[in-house]
Homo-oligomer: A and B are copies of this chain.
């Protein structure tokens, strides 16, 4: 019972951290949100979180772990279109009353928290701030996709990898998941990185090594360290503007 309580609370906390990074929330939100969402469910690595084309009428939030959205090219190649971090909504299809446009899959053992769409709708009705925040998250998601498009269109391998590391560092920091010394967990394989960046596994590997030799990023045993985040950001011309909402 206590376990369920605390586990559920952790999920709500994470969601609130994410939402409040994006717009101010009024005082009643935590309680209302807690009523809308069910307890988190564990999802093993590689398990589907959202099936492509579904119509479940559920709003899903990643509580912990690591996930991604993807689409398949007919050639069999999988293109990762977005990384889903703790606090993030897994899919924004529900906003348009449309089926999920793409699948989402856990890349590491994860916990996912779910709300029925009608319960979420009444949450939003009581707490309009939440709607604003969610729409802003969707807008940021869209911008991040576009930024990655620009990466694939115009940056070389080194800049792509570095830029993505900067993005993940920034986003994880927003929800309090970066440790002392700019260290964070990155439970991805190099091949998955490649699927997101349009690079082969081999080349991702070599690029990581270059970054290590440059002293700009050390990635070992699922842990990434960025010794000089500003230097890396400037090398890859990473500007977090696209991940934030301007304060009014």
Contacts and interface: CB of A to CB of B under 8 A. Distances in A.
Interface in A102-147: 102, 132, 135-136, 138-139, 141-143, 145-147
B92 A154 contact: no
A139 B79 CA distance: 18
A74 B99 CA distance: 36
A127 to B, nearest CB: 15
A12 to B, nearest CB: 22
A101 interface: yes
Contact of A153 (B99, B136, B141, B152): B152
Contact of A79 (B93, B154, B237): B154
Interface in A128-176: 132, 135-136, 138-139, 141-143, 145-150, 152-155
A3 interface: no
Contact of A150 (B73, B101, B136, B155): B73
**Chain A interface, DSSP helix/strand/loop, else mixed:** helix
B139 A93 contact: yes
Contacts of A99: 246
Nearest to A72: B150
Nearest to A73: B154
A223 interface: no
A198 B190 CA distance: 23
A193 to B, nearest CB: 12
A204 interface: no
A139 B139 CA distance: 11
A214 interface: no
A143 B101 CA distance: 7
A54 to B, nearest CB: 11
A56 to B, nearest CB: 14
A77 interface: yes
A210 interface: no
A149 B96 contact: no
Nearest to A239: B74
Interface of A: 71, 73-75, 77, 79, 81, 92-93, 95-99, 101-102, 132, 135-136, 138-139, 141-143, 145-150, 152-155, 195-198, 237, 242, 245-246
Given A71-B146, A96-B136, 16 more contacts: A71-B150, A73-B150, A74-B237, A77-B154, A79-B149, A81-B146, A92-B142, A97-B135, A98-B136, A98-B246, A101-B143, A102-B143, A145-B145, A149-B149, A152-B152, A152-B153
